Structure 1
Amino acid sequence: MPPNRRQPPTVRLRRLAAELRRLRREAGLSQEDVAEKTNVNNVTLYRIETAKTKPQLRTLIALLDAYGATESERDSLIALQKEAKQRGWLHSFEADLPDQYTALISLEAEAQQAINYESLFIPGLLQTEDYARAVIQGVLPTAPETEVENFVAARMQRQALLESETPLRLWAIIDQAALCRTVGGKAVMRAQLDHLTRQAQRPNITVQVIPFSAGAHPGMPGSFIVLKFPLDDPDVIYIDSMAGDLFLEKESEIQLYNDICEHLRAIALSPTDTLALLASPHEDH
């Protein structure tokens, strides 16, 4: 993976930045005004307000004083500052996984909804352990066993999001090609399709398959995930490619991928027809 790929900020850090921008504007202060009041220079303030850096606690308190923040606002934002780089269960995996993959997991854990389009694989959140292991071994044929097992363990842990008290809402759109590729052998693939069928019937999971009969479509260039967050935090687009993983955060990019999602959902089989396809013999896929 290219070393200069920047990890996106955590959702907590993005929320903190947005709240500080809001408070400054409501106080009627320019960045230059803030610099005079707090001795926080314009460059530092810009980096804080764009979630490129986490403010030190004393800096945050100085900003909140300058903005006349209420006690509840102060308590909430100080808590966000302390949690801004929190990664939860992922901490034990971070040394063994690529930075961009750990960034995906962190953002995914904060998301309210994920729309995952896959052209060649069953989505990671819906994979069985045996299928996941076969996929990782196939994609990384020279990886040592310990690396493969770390990826498998992390992928299985990610799936807890679907069964939490407030579960992630997952909309999976899968090209029919992913159902036809026998990964790990017939028994592994049959078990995977059975698992996918069961998961597709959960209330927080929607699965649609794009049939071969749909012809060419906008998803053919590659897979992606659209992560949607609560409290109007902007979406993040994750793209996994041979050139390295990418995170897209520009408004125009987000709009483009949301438009693609709408198109793919429209040409895919309905959730009911998808279940019927999954229930048919593997050879018919």
Structure 2
Amino acid sequence: MAKSQIATIRVRRLASELVRFRERKRLSIKAVADATGVNEVTLRRIEARQARPQKRTLIALLDAYAVRGDEREKIVALARGAQEQGWIRPYDAELPDEYNAFIQFESEASELKKYESLFVPGLLQTEDYARAVIGGTLRTAPSSEVELRVRARMERQSILTREEPVSLRVAMDEAALRRLVGGADVMRAQLDHLAKMSMEPHIQVQVIPFTAGVHPGMPGSFVLMNFARSAEPEIVWVDSHVGDMFLEKPMQIARLTTAFDELIAQASSPAESLAMITTLRDRLGISGGTG
């Protein structure tokens, strides 16, 4: 992903937050212009995502909107990120830009809606399962790269256990549960972990059974990323064999939001899905010694 595209996504998010702050104070653009001295045309361009506010303009707006404390710090950091990449990973230079960008935005999200067709989602994978997946799909990659990606995947999972964890909603195809990744023992441990994680209050897992037939997720996996207090998903990450990419056009987001809603509608309930997961886990436990 080009740095300019990442910056554009951040400008988009920043504009949405500034509009929210202004509306929260019930101020018109003219009133803000009068209070801050910032030109009305400039304010409209910022809110229309056509321009990034300069530092002094941003500070003036945050003062006018009475944005303080942690909320203010997050906005200032977001504005800084609109100018440059501020990856928080210690090994970012060793991973592809696209994956680093995904990790960054994922860690900033307040809600993730994930559809997975063939694998257990990365945030819910065990280390052994992740190693089997990464090694099996990147067959020409050296072991050092495989281990690097495994570590990155394990680190990503901290967003589920932090003080304010991300809300994760998963729709996954039954195929992801039945494929023996890494052998019976690895798969049983994975299903056991998935069952336990699905009982966490901020995690919801729903399985689309084979009996549902054709469904909107069959073309491939994707993630909808919501950010704090945003009404709609702001970024979509699409994972495909020919390349991973971010989508941010309203039409693209709307299409995949509708697809996710349809997938949830076709999926079994969380309780029914948990029962399926534990049943498949127990069956592997019986035959696991020979796997």
User: What interval of TM-score do these two structures reach, taking the shorter chain for normalisation?
Assistant: 0.7 to 0.9
How far apart, in 2, do the equivalents of 1:160 and 1:265 lie? 25
| Change in 2 beyond 3 A, CA 1:73/1:202 | closer
Matched, 1:118 2:119: no
Q: Say whether the 8 Å CA contact 2:117–2:172 is kept in structure 1.
A: yes
Residue 84 of structure 1 aligns with which residue?
A: 79
Shift of 1:127: 0.2
Residue 144 of structure 2 aligns with which residue?
A: 146
Q: Give the match's secondary structure for 1:196.
A: helix
Matched, 1:261 2:256: no
Q: 2:64 aligns with which of 70, 88, 97?
A: 70
Please list the CA deviations of residues 114-163 of structure 1 after superposition, one character each: whole Å capped at 9, or x if unmatched: 11110001001000001111111111111122211121111111111111
| Paired letter, 2:254 | Q
| Paired letter, 2:260 | C
How far apart, in 2, do the equivalents of 1:68 and 1:283 lie? 55
Extract unaligned runs of 5+ from structure 2: 285-291
Please list the CA deviations of residues 2-39 of structure 1 after superposition, one character each: whole Å capped at 9, or x if unmatched: 7699336565x54432355676x93339xxx99xx879
Shift of 1:199: 0.7
Please list the CA deviations of residues 207-253 of structure 1 after superposition, one character each: whole Å capped at 9, or x if unmatched: 11111111111110001111112222641111011221121222222
TM-score (norm 2): 0.79
Please list the CA deviations of residues 140-199 of structure 1 after superposition, one character each: whole Å capped at 9, or x if unmatched: 111122211121111111111111111111111110111111111111111111111111
Shift of 1:93: 2.4
| Change in 2 beyond 3 A, CA 1:165/1:10 | farther
Residue 93 of structure 1 aligns with which residue?
A: 91
1:51-66 aligned at under 5 Å gives the runs 55-58=53-56, 60=58, 64=60
| Change in 2 beyond 3 A, CA 1:233/1:88 | farther
Q: Say whether the 8 Å CA contact 2:62–2:72 is kept in structure 1.
A: no
| Change in 2 beyond 3 A, CA 1:185/1:50 | farther
Q: Percent identity?
A: 44
Q: Say whether the 8 Å CA contact 1:113–1:227 is kept in structure 2.
A: yes
Q: Give the match's secondary structure for 1:184.
A: coil
| Change in 2 beyond 3 A, CA 1:98/1:51 | farther
Q: Say whether the 8 Å CA contact 1:10–1:106 is kept in structure 2.
A: no
| Paired letter, 1:183 | V
| Change in 2 beyond 3 A, CA 1:99/1:139 | same
Count of residues in correspondence between the two structures: 273
Q: Say whether the 8 Å CA contact 2:111–2:166 is kept in structure 1.
A: yes
1:198-237 aligned at under 5 Å gives the runs 198-232=196-230, 234-235=232-233, 236-237=235-236
TM-score (norm 1): 0.80
Q: Give the match's secondary structure for 1:6.
A: helix
Extract unaligned runs of 5+ from structure 1: none
1:1-285 aligned at under 5 Å gives the runs 6-7=5-6, 9=8, 13-20=11-18, 26-28=28-30, 46=45, 49=47, 55-58=53-56, 60=58, 64=60, 70=64, 72-73=66-67, 80-85=75-80, 90-232=88-230, 234-235=232-233, 236-281=235-280
| Paired letter, 1:273 | E
| Paired letter, 1:126 | L
Please list the CA deviations of residues 96-115 of structure 1 after superposition, one character each: whole Å capped at 9, or x if unmatched: 11111111111111212111
